[in-house]
Amino acid sequence: MIVSTSHRVCTIKNIDFTDFFNVFLSGATIVEQLFSLEYLVSILLSGISLGGQLALIAIGYTMVYGILRLINFAHGDVFMVAGLLGIYISAVMPIYAAIPVVIILTVALGFFIERAAYKPLRNAPRMSVMISAIGVSYLLQNTATYVTGGQPMTYPTIGILNKTVDIVGTSTKLVVIITPILVLVLIVLLTQLINHTKIGMAMRAVSKDFETARLMGIKINNVISMTFVIGSALAVVGSILYFTTYPAITPTAGAMPGLKAFVAAVFGGIGSIPGAVIGAFLIGICETIIKGLPSAWNVSVFSDAFTFALLIIILTCKPTGLFGEKATDKV
C-alpha cells in the first residue's frame, strides 16, 4: 500500500513597512505644524480679530436687551446694510469720505427702526415685539435682495487695512492687528459713557427698573433711541472690519455673524457688556482653531456647529451666562 502525502509549502511574504512609516511621518509633520510658533500666532491673531468683529455686534444685542429685554433679531441685518452702503457710497466718492456717510446713514437706520417698529409696541407683549424684530430682519434682507438682485457684492478695498505686516514670521493683514486694539478702545469709551455721563446713568437706571425710571422723570424713549444709535454705530465699525476680511456681501451676510454675536452675548450673560466681549473673543478663537485644523481631518465643517453647541451647553448648565444676573420678580 502506497501512502502519498502532500506537502504544503508555506511562504511568508515580505511585509513592506514603507506605508506605515509614511503615515507616521505624515502625522508627525502635522503635529509639528500644529505646535509651530508661526501656526499658533496665525491662529491667535485671526481668532482675536474675528472675536473683536463679533464683539462689536454682540454689544448691540446686549445693550438693547439690557434696557428693553428685547432680542433685536434685525441687528445682524443692520450690520449687513452697513456693508452694502459702503459698497454703493464708495462708488461715488473716495472710501475714506464714504465711511462717515455710511456711519451716519446706518445710525439713522437704527434710529428709524426703533421708532417705527419698536416704539409703538412699547406696552405690547414681548412676543409681539419679537415678531416685529423678525419682520424687520426679513424686510431688510428682502430689500437688499431687490437692490442687489441677490448677487454677491464685493466690499471696497481700504488701503491701510489691507496692508500686509509680518508678526513673528507670520504674514497677515493690518486689519487683523487693528481690530482687537480698536475694539478695546471702543469698549473703554463705551464704559466711560455708561458710567460717567448723564445719558449713561439714565441707561443704567432704565435697565435696573423701567417703570421706576419713568416715574423719576427719565425720558425713556430718548434713552432707548440712544441705545439703538450706539448699537448701530458699533455695527458699522464691525462691518468695516469684518467685510475687509471677508469681502463678499450677500443679502443674508449678516445672518450668521449676527447669530454668532447673539450666542456670544448669551454666553457672557446677555445684558453684560464685558460678558458679550469675552464670549465673542472665545467664539472667534475656538472657531478659528477648528477651521485651522488639517483639511485631512475634515472637521472645519463643524466650525459653525460648535457655536450653537456652545449655546446649548450654556443654556443647559448656566442659563444666565458667565456674568448675567438672575432676574428677580418684584412684589
The yes-or-no verdict on residue 317 having pLDDT over 50 is yes
Contacts 24+ apart (CB under 8 A), 28-34: 30/294, 30/296, 33/294, 34/293, 34/294
> pLDDT tens-digit profile of 249-262?
999 999 999 999 99
Helix residue ranges per DSSP H, the chain: 18-34, 37-68, 75-90, 95-113, 126-148, 174-196, 198-208, 210-215, 220-245, 255-268, 273-292, 303-317
- 267's grid cell: 454666553
Give the Cα separation of 264 and 282 in Å (integer).
8
Per-residue pLDDT tens digits for 148-202? 998 899 999 888 888 888 777 677 888 888 999 999 999 999 999 998 899 989 9
pLDDT value at position 185? 93
Min mean pLDDT across 47-51, 65-69, 191-195, 234-238 is at 65-69
Under 8 Å between Cβ of 142 and 260: no
Q: What is the pLDDT of residues 244-298, one digit of tens each?
A: 988 999 999 999 999 999 999 988 888 888 889 999 999 999 888 888 777 666 7
Cα 35 to its chain centre, rounded Å, is 27
What mean pLDDT do residues 313-325 have? Answer: 82
- The distance of Cα 283 from the centroid of its chain, to the nearest Å, equals 8
pTM for the model: 0.83
